[in-house]
Structure 1
Amino acid sequence: MFHEFSTANIQIDKDFSAKLSGYGCISYIPETDIPNSSPAMANLSVETLERGLLTPKSNVWSFGIV
């Protein structure tokens, strides 16, 4: 799952298709280790904020917010 949706991580190609960038190191992060002060927190779904659930649906939510 992609955790850091922000305008800085979305690129547009010549056909105006959105591409995600800035993956960095993606791995499983225990809920207790997820930082709660990230600027991208404003883009997270309610389920992610309340229960730490990262799902394809929460990614769609975050992408829509951005």
Structure 2
Amino acid sequence: MEANRKIARVLAHEQNIAHYQDLLRTKLSDVEMRFIERRMSEERFAIEMLRFMSRDELPPRSRQTAV
């Protein structure tokens, strides 16, 4: 059960990254762009922490998190 919850959290972070990538394709100010890039970095870090803390429970990296 705990593994399913962790997988759901990873998927949520991946969806957030995809959303931020979509936003980066729009016209943004420099401040907005830096904010979104920082948020993407934080999301990627959260994924890596989840993967590190549960190496045996989570599937290998998806293509989205490798970007």
Q: Which has the higher strand share?
A: 1
Tell me the TM-score normalized by structure 2: 0.26
Tell me the TM-score normalized by structure 1: 0.26
The answer to which structure, 1 or 2, has the higher relative contact order (CA under 8 A, 6+ apart) is 2
Q: Which has the higher helix share?
A: 2
